[in-house]
A and B are shown apart, each in its own frame.
Chain A
């Protein structure tokens, strides 16, 4: 009786083990990955269908600002060029806007602060599952791009960052970067934030400037932005998926 039951249970455990390793094999299968990834396009199109282009992410009153806003990804970049910028109080920092633009720009932090600006208190949603509310002030991305004058072929805006997040990765995959399309680039809440909660942006939150793209998850909000590049497509950059985390299997459209 007990022997039979034990045989049953060990049979069940063995079958379970086979099922689990089959699930892992399925997950690692490129064809399965490709099929599953199809849902991303469907999600993006469905969300865009029910969302007005300029629909704003919810803004909160000052009283709701999180006292414990967590910092993720790079929090203290060790890249020598970046450390030199920190030492100089970002006096030598320049924001380059180039690529498919008529008039490439190179702006100092003071010049960026003189651009048309916006302040917003929004909720930051990390892909891990947590949320925090912060107050962000920064230069609006749309007017900045208009000043540079996007060429007609421009489809995406790429953000090149100063931080190496994966030092063990091959060249081109080690440094952080992100990309968004023109709908999000011209969204009224898309800003290059240089202030958080009324203070200059701290290093752990992406000093001197980070992207805020409020209708998407945290990893889209590139920190330590050095260069903004307008491109027709991003296949030639990094792993070709449009961002540091996208190259590692995360969705390019992070509205969900």
Chain B
């Protein structure tokens, strides 16, 4: 538990639903990401359109030979990068992503799919609970939609400069999320996470028969697979920045508030 200085007040920051769905989502996204990379490793190449143009993927991880030694190579368009040990070839094995980031670590498309489709349900149902509870309670409107005062270009520039210098709001200003935070959370919740579900369903031949317009929306099944991969990459980027921001702002206070719901605000500053 963070120590609360006597000059601080505790505010109720996160509702029980938000806290529960946050941690269930952490687990689901972790399993989906690692099992997703296991599935990706079955064919570590990405294409645009409906079909796989096998000779011309826009991105691929392959193993090549140089001087009798296998090397891992990542191709993006015409560019080639040597990525031995990480992408293309790692752990004495030809594989897209390395063992330490796939679930399971050994190669098994069948097991990867089991984990993925079980936790896809967990992820989707958990997301529905989060959305319906927080839209109904007004949390999204009150706390996630930026205030009019937060959206002025001057205000945004100041926030960007503050973030770059790792200076975060204190006192009264810390009672609400800043605009960059709000916009990021909105983009993740309403664009990125739904993108994962929709591009995922676009790859299902069963769903294609039910909703033929769905893969079309993304430019075909292989494009949907590409967008699934790119959206997942953006989620990884979000998580990295999110965790970094928690660590450099007020780690125990932030982490504690996502567990207990209470967030300490220092008085008499700023």
How far apart are B233's CB and chain A's nearest CB, in angstroms?
A: 16
Q: Which residues of the partner chain A approach B209 to less than 8 Å between Cβ atoms?
A: 51, 55-58, 214-215
How far apart are A82's CB and chain B's nearest CB, in angstroms?
A: 27
Give CA–CA (A70, B52) in the complex, Å: 10
Give CA–CA (A241, B211) in the complex, Å: 29
How far apart are A75's CB and chain B's nearest CB, in angstroms?
A: 15
Q: How many A-B residue pairs have CB under 8 A?
A: 132
State whether B42 touches A255 (Cβ < 8 A): no
Q: Which residues of the partner chain A approach B207 to less than 8 Å between Cβ atoms?
A: 47, 50-51, 255-256
Closest to A37 in B: B114
State whether A126 touches B105 (Cβ < 8 A): no
State whether A131 touches B114 (Cβ < 8 A): no
State whether B221 touches A38 (Cβ < 8 A): no
Say which residue of A27, A33, A66 sits within 8 Å of B103 (CB atoms): A27
Query: Which of B12-20, B21-29, B71-79, B198-206 contacts the other chain?
Result: B198-206
Decide yes or no whether B40 CB sits under 8 A from chain A: yes
Q: Which residues of the partner chain B approach A60 to less than 8 Å between Cβ atoms?
A: 50
Interface size class, chain B: 35 or more
State whether A38 touches B118 (Cβ < 8 A): yes
Say which residue of B51, B52, B206 sits within 8 Å of A216 (CB atoms): B206
Query: Which of A139-147, A231-239, A245-253 contacts the other chain?
Result: A245-253
Give CA–CA (A37, B110) in the complex, Å: 11
Say which residue of A132, A249, A250, A255 sits within 8 Å of B205 (CB atoms): A255
Decide yes or no whether A123 CB sits under 8 A from chain B: yes
Give CA–CA (A35, B215) in the complex, Å: 30
Q: Which residues of the partner chain A approach B117 to less than 8 Å between Cβ atoms?
A: 39-40, 43, 251, 256
Decide yes or no whether A151 CB sits under 8 A from chain B: no
Q: With a 10 A CB-CB cut-off, give which of B34, B39, B52, B109 has the most chain A CB atoms.
A: B52
Give CA–CA (A39, B125) in the complex, Å: 13
State whether A125 touches B221 (Cβ < 8 A): yes
Give CA–CA (A251, B116) in the complex, Å: 12
> With A23-B104, A131-B51 as given contacts, are A215 and B205 in contact (CB-CB < 8 Å)?
yes
Given contacts A27-B104, A130-B54, 13 further A-B contacts (CB under 8 A): A23-B104, A24-B104, A47-B204, A57-B208, A64-B50, A68-B53, A125-B205, A127-B109, A130-B222, A217-B205, A249-B114, A250-B109, A250-B113
Query: What residues make up the interface of B, taking CB atoms closer than 8 Å to A?
Result: 34, 39-40, 42-43, 45, 47, 50-55, 99-100, 103-106, 108-111, 113-115, 117-118, 120-121, 203-212, 215, 221-222, 225
Query: What residues make up the interface of A, taking CB atoms closer than 8 Å to B?
Result: 16, 20-21, 23-24, 27-28, 33, 35-40, 42-43, 47, 50-52, 55-58, 60, 64, 66, 68, 70, 123, 125-133, 214-217, 245, 248-251, 254-256
